[in-house]
């Protein structure tokens, strides 16, 4: 009976030690949440901006699919990407459609967060913001 009590005490101590250190390990190696959003300010619905935001680390894509953002008129779209590694850089692909036809396509990239990314087709009318990665 005494041996059983020792096993229970050691087991409880081990479980408590693991649980208390789990939060520290999770903070160091946990999930990262990065938000991408696009804000549009077009006069009518004839112009649509479709933006793909890729999160990268050392040139490697961290998401299986990019954040896919679409807007027109004076509205916005937001998505959050969840990664297991903290992103260090980003790539933004722009596509603009007017009356259903492609009028402009280009990409830009950079590093550092938060980032505000303008476009070269409609510079006053659409902007992407990529938030700082957070635990």
pLDDT digits (tens, 9 = 90+) for 43-76: 888 999 999 999 999 999 999 999 999 999 999 9
Q: Return d(Cα 131, Cα 81) in angstroms, integer.
A: 10
Q: What residues have CB less than 8 Å from 29, skipping those under 6 apart?
A: 84
CB atoms within 10 A of CB 83: 17
pTM, 2 dp: 0.77
Q: Tell me, what's the pLDDT at 18?
A: 63
Q: Is the pLDDT of residue 96 over 90?
A: yes
CB 132 within 8 A of CB 33: no
Q: Is the pLDDT of residue 11 over 70?
A: yes
- Average model confidence (pLDDT) across the chain: 87
**Residue 101: strand pairing partners:** 98
Give the model's confidence band at 27: pLDDT under 50 very low, under 70 low, under 90 confident, else very high.
low
Produce one character per residue of 46-73: b if its CB has 16 or more CB atoms within 10 Å, e if not: ebbbbbbbbbbeeeeebeeebbebebbe
CB 53 within 8 A of CB 71: no
Assigned CATH for 31-130: 2.60.40
CB atoms within 10 A of CB 105: 12
Q: pLDDT exceeding 90 applies to what percent of the chain?
A: 71
């Amino acid at each position: 009976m005494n041996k059983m009590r020792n096993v229970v005490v050691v087991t409880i101590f081990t479980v408590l030690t693991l649980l208390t250190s789990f939060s520290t390990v999770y903070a160091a190696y946990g999930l990262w949440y990065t938000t991408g959003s696009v804000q549009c300010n077009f006069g009518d619905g004839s112009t649509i901006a479709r933006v793909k935001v890729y999160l990268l680390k050392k040139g490697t894509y961290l998401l299986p699919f990019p954040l896919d953002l679409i807007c027109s008129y004076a509205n916005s779209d937001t998505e959050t990407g969840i990664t297991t590694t903290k992103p260090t850089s980003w790539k933004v692909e722009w596509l603009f459609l007017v009356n259903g036809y492609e009028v402009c396509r280009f990409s830009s990239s950079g590093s550092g967060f938060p980032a505000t990314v303008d476009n070269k087709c409609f510079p006053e009318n659409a902007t992407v913001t990529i938030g700082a990665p957070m635990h």
